[in-house]
Structure 1
Amino acid sequence: MKNPNGYGSVCKLSGKRRKPFAVTVTTGWNDEGKQRREYLGYYKSRREAMVALADYNNNPYDLSAGKLTFKEVYERLIKERFPKISKSNQLGYEMAFRRSEPLHDIKFNEVRKAHLQSVIDNCDKSWGTKKKIKVLFNQMYKHALENDLTHKDYARFVELPKNDTKNSRKPFTLDEINILWENIHRFDDIDSVLIMIYTGLRPGELVEVKNKSVQLDERYFRGGFKTEAGTNRVIPIHKKIHKLIENRMDPNNEYLITNFEGNKLSYYVYYHEKFKKIMQQLELNHRPHDCRHTFATLMDNADANKLSIKRIMGHAAKDITDKVYTHKDIKQLLMAIDRL
């Protein structure tokens, strides 16, 4: 049976081909009333080609989108998403994209479930990293469907392995904290570990603290990201680390934690070139996020005000309705931190 006018057609190409059936569709008409036609794709069987043609007619999309690569769709996604998400989430997207390098130059509409699954299966990182990669895939296909860049979501078929990882976060013991204090003048950057322990900062937040945000006289600074409650929050300065922070504040540097040249550190460099070396030198077995876990444990053991703990750590709470901190608020946070 002949297809309706403008519906498109399927034809078998000559010669020996892996996908001999070509589908063409009408994309418009010229000034003379003749159809402008464009290839939709090539298929192994006539049936597969007819299904593709029917799918296109049920949900037509811009065929020029079929020329976009995986990388180009990612670039379109982050242009739309990044202004709406935290710095932490942006870093997660960037990491997941790097892990998806085998897909970068493949046309997005030629990516299939097997391609996506292979990225997950061949990733030698943690389950959490694999989950972030799948989140990226989900967001890319959501963006593609919303903008008529594709007509099928292959990301929903991707499977994550079973999460066998156990929560390995463990707080520093009091003896270990004493070891840090005893060696503070022996090894560089031990002060940064203690600053995290006494502020609850995430390691990624630590390297983002700017000197101009620090109010030494009033014993607080602003910092943090990741969540709405955590972004640009007030963090009180415990008396024990007041001098450590003061010594760090070089007027020639923009950031509190810097490299030897006074420039900003990335989390990756801080972890591998500073934190890991400190742990090895002191024969301690901890990761940077253990400092934040230590802070939460110490505050809880000291019976600090629960709401103050949430505010300092940047956890959302029903009681927190805005980002305005009064002198009374800051005084309460200082009272809470001084219980350590």
Structure 2
Amino acid sequence: MQCRKCHSEAPEGANFCPKCGAKLTVTTSVKSRGNGQGTAIKRGKTWTAVWSAPRYIGEDGKVHYPRKWKGGFATKKAALAYASCPPETVVKVPTLREYHKTWHSSAFTKLGKSKQTAYEIAWKRWEGLYDKPITELSIGDLQGQVDTETSTYYPARDMKTVASHLLKMAVAEGHLRANLAEYIELPPLDEKELTPYTEDEIKLFWAAYTAGDTFVGYILLMIYTGMMPGELFILKKDMIDFEKFEIRGAGLKTKKRKETALVFPQSIAPVLHELCDYSKSRKDYVLCMDRDKFYPEYHRAVKNAGCRDLPPYSCRHTTATALALGNIAPSVIQEVMRHTKFTTTQRYIHPDTAASHAAVNQMAATSE
């Protein structure tokens, strides 16, 4: 009999080599657990179950074989039993509501107040899909909700924007492959062009104001400053600088409108003084009434003055048009209107046919 380690001769039946002491008889253990059933490791007084999780390909392009652990078992048998058949990990799929909570507490807070209001309204229109798992949403679901809740362009656009913000997060977390909101089709944009008041109508407003209708002063203020109705609602007396003929702090929506002063002509200063005296607001607002009272009073004043019943926003279009007809430089008109781009200002200028005839006649006279 030869030793398997030092190869020297050993007596038959000996269990150990008399020369090197190596064990001569080798017993092969029978494997009692199959592959993939995990194992158990003793840690202190308890046992820990260890098993292999599904393999995956990482960002490095390599195949990874992750292992999972769970400790606290009193016996090895219990740990092995758990490792051989671990419970399936249930992955909770988030909903639109959950993503909205995240967005509402982060990026949403950086938006302007008007945008926040518009998106809050849009979010309420998604109520039918609030709690549906993101992975179960389809383009048809999104389109159907938009079609049901809206029929015009801008509300539908706000719904699409809100959904897009939420679904982008789902894509980033791997719950969706693509932002499905991008496939929402919006209703056609039927943007009706606002009409400015004419020069004759402005004279009628002055006549009505001179005759004692103080409310018409608010209309004249909007016409001569390009102020939006929303800016009139927040205008306070301490925002007015009568020495510089400027108003600061009433700008809304865009950064340009917030930072650029509203300028008013000297002719409107007495009107503005009277409006400040006319207001009884305890918070020093120049307009001492809410929106529900303002709009009926506005339309009453317009009709009594003998003018067309145009919406308040037409006053702002009147400003730009009057400046353009007065041959004011485009850059100056843009600054008065507080627009970032002149292409926006152009949408507020509405020369009538008479102005067009006068312009071409002036060109003809100059060329002769």
**Does the alignment reach a TM-score above 0.5?**
yes
Give TM-score, length-normalised by structure 1: 0.65
Q: TM-score, normalised by structure 2?
A: 0.60
Give 1:255 deviation, angstroms. Answer: 2.9
SS in 1 for 2:257: coil
Deviation at 1:221, TM superposition (A): 0.7
The structure-2 alpha-carbon separation of the partners of 1:115 and 1:309, relative to structure 1 and needing over 3 Å to count, comes to: same
Q: How does 1:274-313 map to 2 (within 5 A)?
A: 274-276=297-299, 278-279=301-302, 284-313=308-337
Matches within 5 A, 1:165-314: 165-184=190-209, 189-222=215-248, 223-249=250-276, 250=279, 252-259=282-289, 265=290, 269=292, 272-276=295-299, 278-279=301-302, 284-314=308-338
CA distance in 2, matches of 1:178, 1:108: 59
Q: Deviations over 1:237-264 (max 9, x none)?
A: 22333233223335732433232xxxxx
Query: For 1:1-340, what aligned pairs fall within 5 Å after superposition?
Result: 6-7=53-54, 29-31=69-71, 35=86, 37-40=88-91, 63=92, 66-68=93-95, 70-146=96-172, 152-163=178-189, 165-184=190-209, 189-222=215-248, 223-249=250-276, 250=279, 252-259=282-289, 265=290, 269=292, 272-276=295-299, 278-279=301-302, 284-316=308-340
Give the CA deviation at 1:75: 3.6
Unpaired stretches in structure 1, ≥5 consecutive residues? 9-25, 41-62, 260-264, 319-340
What is the Cα deviation at residue 27 of structure 1? 12
CA distance in 1, matches of 2:300, 2:97: 36
Secondary structure of the structure 2 residue equivalent to 1:308? helix
**What is the SS of the residue equivalent to 1:31?**
strand
Q: Which amino acid aligns with 1:257?
A: L
Q: Say which SS state the counterpart of residue 30 (structure 1) adopts.
A: strand
Superposition RMSD on alpha carbons, in Å? 3.6
Q: Considering only CA atoms, is the larger Rg found in Structure 1 or Structure 2?
A: 2
Contact 2:224 / 2:265 at 8 angstroms: preserved in 1?
Answer: yes
1:275/1:154 CA distance change after superposition, 3 Å = farther
Q: Which 10-residue stretch deviates more, 276-285 or 93-102? A: 276-285
C-alpha contact (below 8 Å) 2:151/2:187 kept by paired residues:
no
SS at match of 1:183: helix
Extract unaligned runs of 5+ from structure 2. Answer: 1-35, 37-50, 56-65, 73-81, 343-368
CA drift of 1:236 comes to 0.9
Higher relative contact order (CA 8 A, sep 6+): 1
CA gap 1:122/1:300 in 2 versus in 1, 3 angstroms: same
Partners of 1:87 and 1:233 lie apart in 2 by 18
Aligned residues: 266
**Residue 119 of structure 2 contacts residue 158 of structure 2 at CA under 8 Å; is this kept in 1?**
yes
